Chain A
């Protein structure tokens, strides 16, 4: 069952030329973790703020657990939405202790507020003295407090703005896993914004890719990586090679040679063949393979990238094992074991 749904949501800032969020529609299922991924300026943070009620869309409908919270110019104010949010800078109240920060959002009528707050703090793994003030904690600890404060009132949905951006790389891997476990343990639905695809791939159940305010694709990580709907999405998850090809009834002609593929009979116009470096393989033997001039081989420790050029100098990158030597070798044969075909127009 979907807990959050956005329908044709538009948002333009008054000074800006383009829409920050452009006709975005999607749904989030209960208990799901969704990552909003995009470059800066893609509209991902705006989208989060629209859901929170901190910004108002120009157009569109947003509903949360069966209630319409935004429709046209009317909206439910942020304080009535029961939405939890972890800010990028954590936004802890500096004049309140950790415990007071957590209790701030709890219902006034709740009899055992202290207990609930302490329990939540323990859930996020904070063992510090709860009477400390935020500035006495480390960055990682502050983030736990921010998370605890957001989930303590039992919100309908948890929003996180760039939750991992302030952490160093070593801490990041650990925190990603911990946060995922905490969220899954509480069963809360969560949306988080990130510009780092690794955050999204490792933490989210589903990923939505945004570009210039448009939703490009929303799917599970595996599908996004293997079946990107367009080159933008594909490029987002690493290097993507593109080559133009002419279909015949039993294969494609490319500038590197012929690829035999019965699928080709379905196409009539020129197509674009896209593949990732790890989906190609350089081989010794000659035969039914593609061929090109070795332009450059770069060593990366655990792997090697070979750049192969066609007669016009256009290059594709193929990943090989690091032990392989191309010294004194001028040309390379390779084949693709996985690729996508897109109509080129």
Chain B
């Protein structure tokens, strides 16, 4: 028989690209893993003896507090809007997601400003009723304050995910519960909540990752956690090994949460059981109850978004003439470019990873893609340290080998390349998920049909797959764009010297007692953050409706 060209079916250029991406994305974690075996730095003894226990206590306390309050706020509002009809319900469905557009650190400055001596509440009371307070109305610059700020900005994760879960629960299951004699309240605790548990815990885990990532809020409030510890050892003490040690401990928290989350989820897939996925017909409660439900949602919305948002608008109206100048536009231009480039890079890499999996659906390739998107769980400070160390070493090597003192410069560390690289590691999952669902939606058959008609995999990708998932690609870029714009800790460590983004500028101004001025940049971050939230909500409604 004639021999024809044959190749190993499991090897093609796509699997090669994917391995390469994995290697790059895993750099920061590998760095931390290998560096942990170095002997401890000078300040480790000092930190471990005096500060470590405090870091630990604060971190755990904040985690538990935020988990509790995000659960309370998120699940209760989700249950109300998915099961009852009351005035404004339709609007609260998406209004209650808006707090996500507030980065924690901006919420923190805003509330401190709101409650301060010169803030609107105290001024109003003083001017109209002659009531004066010493210092702020409520002191937020402490642990409970941190928990409050992080909870009001992060509860939408739990709200969103439990609402989706409640809406997807089979109508007949709830009806069965009613027929068996349970009222709505009992049904909630005995049927709906246990069924939604895997999803709800998933939402809380997501919020917990954000808590561990947070630097701006805790730094501003003067609460010491592992993140602030990493910054302190890196910037103030110049001790990279100690930073690595702290990063490693922080990663133990991350992996514990990830493990607990996947353990509790097990193999359960309650929500996708067969049955009508139409939501239960919403009950119309009595007028007083309707009033109560509207009030609950309204108060939560006012506190978590509208009041701080108006405070920011007020500050902007006071200061915009001073702040908005050429430099400010340069700042916007820079931040937007950085965010857009990151978005495009992430979507391209996601397409490569997912296309490899599409062509060769092997288990090991699935694992590669899974690991490549793990960055969302790694706190920004950890990624920054894990990238800075190999990059500094590389620059040092280049400097020693090729250059004289005159031509010396930075090649990788302290460049925009390092910053984009870190963003890619951290936000891979954000762009990956929409691309993945895009591919899932169009199915594999169109791709197979094209290849059977003689088009190579690359041609198929450009002629069939990509045109069909255009919208997913755009939303992938957009979602990454917004996250990059908000990002603070990574940017602070890795940005080139004196390079400012909207986020770092807001942070710098606010920490330098220029809260009102900082709100101009903050407003742009918040407004851009609102766009994808509205898109996201539409997507969820379409999927379920």
B-contacting residues of A (Cβ < 8 Å)?
14, 52-54, 56, 63, 66-69, 71, 73-85, 87, 89, 91-95, 104-105, 107, 149-150, 153
Contacts and interface: CB of A to CB of B under 8 A. Distances in A.
B451 A79 contact: yes
Interface in B459-484: 460, 463-464, 467-468
Nearest to A61: B1
B468 A104 contact: no
B357 to A, nearest CB: 14
B363 interface: yes
B468 A94 contact: yes
Contacts of A92: 446, 449
A99 to B, nearest CB: 14
A85 B449 contact: yes
6 contacts: A68-B1, A68-B2, A69-B6, A89-B443, A105-B454, A105-B455
Contacts of B395: none
A52 B452 CA distance: 7
Contacts of A149: 449, 453
B268 interface: no
B443 A91 contact: yes
B448 A153 contact: no
A71 B6 contact: yes
Given A67-B1, A89-B443, A74 B450 contact: no
A52 B449 CA distance: 10
Interface stretch (B7-15, B78-86, B334-342, B527-535): B7-15
Contacts of B448: 52, 54, 78, 85, 87, 91
Contacts of A94: 446, 468
Nearest to A108: B454
Which of A52, A67, A71, A149 gathers most chain B CB within 10 Å? A67
Given A73-B8, A91-B443, A93-B464, A81 B1 contact: no
A104 B443 CA distance: 19
Interface string B320-332: 0000000000000
Interface of B: 1-10, 362-363, 443, 445-446, 448-457, 460, 463-464, 467-468
Contact of B455 (A54, A56, A104, A150): A104
Contact of B449 (A81, A91, A107): A91
Given A79-B453, A84-B452, A87-B448, 12 more contacts: A66-B1, A67-B1, A68-B4, A78-B448, A79-B452, A89-B443, A93-B446, A93-B464, A95-B467, A104-B455, A153-B453, A153-B454
B5 A73 contact: no
A93 B450 contact: yes
Contacts of B455: 79, 104-105
Given A67-B1, A79-B457, A95-B468, A74 B452 contact: no
Contacts of A150: 452
A14 B362 contact: yes
Contacts of A74: 6-9
A68 B3 contact: yes
Contacts of B362: 14
Most buried by A among B451, B452, B468: B452
B2 A67 contact: yes
Contacts of B451: 54, 77-79
Contacts of A69: 4, 6
Contact of A104 (B4, B5, B450): B450
Given A14-B363, A66-B1, A68-B1, A83 B9 contact: no
Contacts of A81: 452
A67 B467 contact: no
B446 A75 contact: no
Contacts of A80: 5, 454
A68 B4 CA distance: 7
A67 B456 contact: no
Given A68-B3, A91-B449, A82 B454 contact: yes
Contacts of A14: 362-363
Going nearest first, the 9 A-B pairs with the smallest beta carbon separation are: A105-B453, A91-B445, A74-B6, A91-B449, A56-B9, A79-B451, A78-B451, A87-B445, A67-B4
A149 B468 CA distance: 19
